[in-house]
Amino acid sequence: MKINSWKLKRWTVGVIALVSFAAGSLITARLMHVNQVRADSNRVFELRVYHVVPGKLPALESLFRDTTSKLMAKHDLQVVGDWVPEGAPAWDNTFVDIVVHPS
């Protein structure tokens, strides 16, 4: 007899939890108003982070300055900025680049 009452209690708790979850989901869906977001232009901004072998960062900077930025411009990629982060030792051999291109 006790086994059946435990099974009944389990089922009751499970059904109550399921009904509560469903009711909460429906109420949340009613209260939430989702507006579609659109971009002002058809450009994409791309953040590129390069982790460089120690000692090769100056070579990478000169490569981007002299060659790569001209090659990117040829392919309609506009370089917004290049920089080397300073501060934490984890950023010592890191080169950051932002590029813009049509979507």
10-residue stretch averages of pLDDT, the chain, 103 residues long = 66 88 83 72 89 90 87 88 84 89 85
Say which CATH number the domain at 51 has. 3.30.70.100
In terms of domains, do 33 and 47 share one? no
- The pLDDT value recorded for residue 69 is 82
What local confidence, expressed as pLDDT, does residue 24 receive?
86
In this prediction, residue 23 carries a pLDDT of 87
pTM recorded for the entire structure:
0.56
Render the burial of 68-95: b for 16+ CB within 10 Å, e for the rest. Answer: bbeebeeeeeebeebeeeeeeeeeebbb
pLDDT at site 48: 92
Q: In which domain, by residue range, is 75 found?
A: 43-102
**pLDDT for the residue numbered 41:** 79
How many domains would you assign to the chain? 2
Same domain flag for 28 and 48: no
What is the token pair recorded at 69?
Answer: 């930025």
What pLDDT is stored for residue 21 in this prediction?
87
What pLDDT is attached to residue 2? 55
Same domain, 61 and 75: yes
**Rounded distance, CA 100 to CA 103, Å?**
9
